Amino acid sequence: MLISTILASKGASVATIRGEATVGDAVGELSRRGIGALVVSADGTHIDGIVSERDVVRTLHDRGARVLDEQVASIMSTTVYTCSPGDDTESLMTTMTERRVRHVPVVVDGVLEGLVSIGDVVKSRMGELERDRRELVDYINAR
């Protein structure tokens, strides 16, 4: 399955936050939206970094609650692994596993086009497996 298929079903909307926003603002945004990561972007289309719940928790542990008043840019991951709509989910699963990332922005010509989470990939894979199962059952019953 292609990444474009996942985006077609889930939508291409991406939650972003500016690097100058506070970590507290990011926590609030993550909570309000019920998501696990925000793409850090000054203009909403180009990626400066990514900040996840994992980044927040680790930094809270290391620096304490004062980090909530610091800028998102101070805790974001600047190494961001991306994919394109034409990539397949198998290669994305490999990237997520090897790089230990749960959120991968989808980029076309350097512009942010979507975001795929590990949950999105698992959901699409489960759908593929269910379709395969139904086809096998139909094949067996047709004999």
Cβ-based neighbours of 124, under 8 Å, separated by 6 or more? 1, 5, 6, 9, 89
Number of domains in the chain: 1
| Side chain identity at residue 7, one-letter code | L
DSSP 43: S
> What is the structure's pLDDT at 95?
94
Residue 52 half-sphere exposure toward CB, CA atoms < 13 A: 17
> What is the structure's pLDDT at 12?
85
Cβ-based neighbours of 60, under 8 Å, separated by 6 or more? 67, 68
Domain that holds residue 40: 3-142
Q: How many CB atoms are located within 10 Å of the residue 11 CB?
A: 10
> What is the structure's pLDDT at 129?
80
* CATH number of the domain encompassing residue 123: 3.10.580.10
What is the pLDDT tens value at each position of the chain, 143 positions in all? 899 999 999 988 999 999 999 999 999 999 999 999 999 999 999 999 999 999 999 999 999 999 999 999 999 999 999 999 999 999 999 999 999 999 999 999 999 999 999 999 998 888 778 887 888 888 888 87
> What is the structure's pLDDT at 107?
97
Strands 16-17 and 37-40: parallel
DSSP 71: B
